[in-house]
Structure 1
Amino acid sequence: MKTFYSENHRLHFPQAELSGGQFVTPFERPSRVEYVLNRLKERGFSDIEKPAEADLEPARRLLDPGYLDFLQTAWADWKAEGMAGEIIAANVPARGMHLDRVPANIDGKVGYYCHASETAMTAGTWAAACSSLASAQAAQRHVAAGASAAFALCRPPGHHATRDQYGGYCFLNNAAIVAQMMRDGGADRVAVLDVDFHHGNGTQDIFYGRGDVLFASLHGAPQDAYPYFIGYADETGKGDGDGANINYPMPPGTGYAVWAEALENAIARIGDWGADALVLSLGVDAYKEDPISFFKLDSPDFIDMGQRIARLSLPTVICMEGGYAIEAVGINTVNVLEGFENA
C-alpha cells in the first residue's frame, strides 16, 4: 500500500493547548507523524511519496467561501491587529446571539469560525492544512488510477472541520473532500467510515442532507466525550440524506468485543447500502492508553479492525485522523494497514 505524506505538516505546531484549566503542549503534535513514519518503514511500507500541491476546487464546492477566506488570511489579520500570541478563540456566539453575522474584527471572526478553543492557529497552519489535504488528494488519485487502497498520512487531521468551522485540531476536512472527489470521479455512492474515538462531527455536518454519501461513525458517547453536542444515535440524516448517517456512540470502558460488534454492523450497513468506494477516517485514539479517550482497544485489535474493513472489497482511501498515545500511535496505525493488506 502506498503512503502519501508531506513534510509541511511541521509548519503547524502551536505551543499551547487549553486542557484541564491550564495551557499544555498540544496532544496533536508533529511527533505523532514521526512515530507513524518510523513504523511504516520498519514494517516494509517503504513506498512513501510526497504529494503535489492541494487542489482547493473540491473544497470550494463543499465548504463555506467565507470560512476558506478566513483560514487563508487569519494569521495576517491577527498580526495586523497587534495580537502577540497564537490564534486562540476567546469569544464564541452562544444561544440567543446572532449566528448569521460575521464580525469584522479578527478576534470576533476567530470565535465565529471556531467550535473548540483547544485548537490554536499559527503562521504555518494554513500551509500545513493544505499539505494535509494534498496528501489525501494524492491518495484518492492513486486509487482512482486503479490501486485498491492508499494511505494518506494527514496532519493536521480533518474530520472535526465542518463546512464553516475549525476545531478538534482540524481545519480542512480531508475525508469529506476525498469523498466528494470520488463522487466527481464517477462513484455513485461513497461511504465514509470513521473509527476515530471522537465523533466525526465535521463529516456529518457536511453530508447530513445528502443521500449519495453514507457516513458511519464509531465514537465515545457525546454525553461523556468531545465534541459533546453531536453524535447521538438518533441523528440519521435529513432530507435526501435521511438514513445515510449512522452513529454508534459507546460508553466509557468500551472494549473491543463491543466495539467490533458496532464495526460489523457499520460494515454490513455500508455493504447493504451499495457503496462503490470507501473513505476510512483512521483515528487510533480508541487505544486503551490514549490520554484523551476512554475506550479499551489493545494494539492487536487494530490488526483485526483492518482485516474486517478490508472485507468490504472497495476502493479505499485511508486518511489519518487522531491518536495521541504518542509511542503507540505508529504501531496501532500500521497494524490497521497490515490487517487491511493481509485480509
Structure 2
Amino acid sequence: MKTIFSPLHAGHAGQMELISGGLVPGFEKPSRAEYIRARVEAEKLGPILPPAEHDIAAARRVHAADYIDFLPTVWPEWEKAGRSGSAFGFTWPTRGLRADVRPKTIDALLGYYSFDAGASFVAGTWTAIKSSFDVALTAAGLVKDGERAAFALCRPPGHHAGAAFMGGYCFINNAAVAAQFFRDRGAAKVSILDVDYHHGNGTQEIFYARADVQVLNLHGDPMTEYPFFLGHADEKGSGDGEGFNVNYPMPFGTAWDGWSASLEDACARLEAYRPDVVVVSLGVDTFEKDPISQFKLKSEDYPKIGRRIAKLGLPTLFVMEGGYAVEEIGINAVGVLTGFEQG
C-alpha cells in the first residue's frame, strides 16, 4: 500500500488549545505524523510518496467558498492586528445571536467560522492545512487510478470541519473532499466509514441531505463526549439523505467486543448500500491509553479492523484523523493498514 505524506505538516506546531478549563499545548502535534511515518517504514508497508499540488477549488466542492477563502488569511490578519501566540476565537454566534452577518475583525471571524477553540492557527498552519488537503487528493487519485487501497497520512486531520466551520483540530475535511473527488470522477456512490473515537460531526453535516455519500460513524456517545452536539443515533439524514447517515454512539469504557459489534453492523449496512469506493476516516483514539478518549481498544485489535474492512472487497482510501497516545499511534494506525493488506 502506498502512503502519501508531506513534511509541511510540521509548520502547524506549538499551537495552543482551550480544553477542560485551561489553555494547554495542542494534543494534535507534529510527532503524531512522524511516529506513523516511521512505523510505515518499519513495517515495510510500501513506498512513501510526496503529494502533488491540487487546486483548492476541490475544497469548495464540499466547503463554503468564503470559508475556504478565509483560512489562508487568518495568520496575516492576526499579525496585522498586532497579535502573537495562537489565533483562535473567543466568542461564537450561538442560539439567539446572528450568524447571517459576516463580521469584519479577525477575532469575530475566528468565532464566526468555528465551533470551538480547538482549531488554532500559528504561522505555518495554512501551509500544513493545504499540504494535508494535497495528501488526501493525491492518495484518492491512486485509488481512482486502480490501486486497491492507499493511505493519506493527513495532518491536520479533518472530520470535525463542516461546510463552513472549523473545530476539533480540523480545518478542511479531507475525507469529505476525497469522497466528492470520487463522485466527480465517476463513482455513483461513496461510503465514508469513520472509526475515530470522536464523532465526525463535520462529515455528517456536509453530507446529511445527500443520498450519494453514505456516512457511518462509530464514536463516543455525544451525551457525555465531545463534540457533544451531534452524533446521536436518531440522526439518520434528511431529505434525499434520509437513511444514509448512521451513528453508533457508545458509552465510556467500550472495549473490543462492543465496538466490533458496531463495526460489523456498519459494514453490513455499507455492503447493502453497494458503494463504488470506501473512504475510511482512520482515527485510533479508541485506544485504551489515549489521553483524551474513553474507549478500551488494545493494539492487537487494530489489525482486526483492517481485516474486516478488507472483507468488503472495495477500493479503499484511508485518511488519517485522530489518535493522541503518541508513542503507540504508529503501531495502531499502521496495524489497521497491515491488517487490511493481510485481509
Q: Give yes or no for TM over 0.5.
A: yes
Match of 1:98 in 2: 98
Aligned equivalents of 2:313 and 2:167: distance in 1?
Answer: 33
Match of 1:134 in 2: 134
Q: Does 2:130 correspond to 1:110?
A: no
Segment drifting more, 51-60 vs 313-322:
51-60
1:95-122, Cα deviation, whole Å (9 max, x unpaired) = 1000111111111000000111122111
User: 3-state SS of the aligned residue for 1:54?
Assistant: coil
Match of 1:312 in 2: 312
Q: Is the 8 A contact 1:287 1:296 kept in 2?
A: yes
Match of 1:276 in 2: 276
Aligned equivalents of 1:194 and 1:20: distance in 2?
Answer: 25
Aligned equivalents of 1:289 and 1:196: distance in 2?
Answer: 14
Q: Structure 1 length normalisation: TM-score? A: 0.98
Aligned equivalents of 1:218 and 1:90: distance in 2?
Answer: 30
1:298-331, Cα deviation, whole Å (9 max, x unpaired) = 0010010110011111111100000000100000
Match of 1:6 in 2: 6
Match of 2:53 in 1: 53
Q: Is the 8 A contact 2:15 2:121 kept in 1?
A: no
Letter of the 1:168 partner, please give it. Answer: G
1:190-243, Cα deviation, whole Å (9 max, x unpaired) = 000000000000100110010000000000000111100000000000011000
Letter of the 1:38 partner, please give it. Answer: A
Letter of the 2:279 partner, please give it. Answer: V
User: 3-state SS of the aligned residue for 1:222?
Assistant: coil
Within 5 Å, which residues of 2 pair with 1:199-218? 199-218=199-218
Match of 1:66 in 2: 66
Within 5 Å, which residues of 2 pair with 1:112-261? 112-261=112-261
1:140-160, Cα deviation, whole Å (9 max, x unpaired) = 111111100000000000000
Segment drifting more, 284-293 vs 21-30:
21-30
Q: Does 2:17 correspond to 1:20?
A: no
Aligned equivalents of 1:233 and 1:20: distance in 2?
Answer: 26
User: 3-state SS of the aligned residue for 1:337?
Assistant: helix
Letter of the 1:34 partner, please give it. Answer: E
Segment drifting more, 140-149 vs 18-27:
18-27
1:166-199, Cα deviation, whole Å (9 max, x unpaired) = 0100000000000001111111000000000000
Match of 2:266 in 1: 266
User: 3-state SS of the aligned residue for 2:226?
Assistant: coil
Query: How many residue pairs are counted as aligned between the two chains?
Result: 343
Instruction: Return 5+ residue gaps in structure 1 as ranges.
Output: none
Q: Structure 2 length normalisation: TM-score? A: 0.98
User: 3-state SS of the aligned residue for 2:240?
Assistant: helix
1:39-77, Cα deviation, whole Å (9 max, x unpaired) = 111111240000111321221122111111110111111
Q: Is the 8 A contact 1:285 1:325 kept in 2?
A: yes
Within 5 Å, which residues of 2 pair with 1:323-338? 323-338=323-338
Aligned equivalents of 1:120 and 1:62: distance in 2?
Answer: 21
Segment drifting more, 6-15 vs 26-35:
6-15
Q: Is the 8 A contact 1:54 1:131 kept in 2?
A: no
User: 3-state SS of the aligned residue for 1:151?
Assistant: strand
Aligned-residue RMSD, C-alpha: 0.9
Q: CA deviation at 1:23?
A: 2.2
User: 3-state SS of the aligned residue for 1:225?
Assistant: coil
User: 3-state SS of the aligned residue for 1:264?
Assistant: helix
Aligned equivalents of 1:96 and 1:177: distance in 2?
Answer: 32
User: 3-state SS of the aligned residue for 1:236?
Assistant: coil
Aligned equivalents of 1:327 and 1:85: distance in 2?
Answer: 27
Aligned equivalents of 2:50 and 2:187: distance in 1?
Answer: 26
Q: Is the 8 A contact 2:140 2:181 kept in 1?
A: yes
Letter of the 1:65 partner, please give it. Answer: A
Q: Is the 8 A contact 1:14 1:120 kept in 2?
A: no
Q: Is the 8 A contact 1:281 1:319 kept in 2?
A: yes
Match of 2:292 in 1: 292
Segment drifting more, 283-292 vs 57-66:
57-66
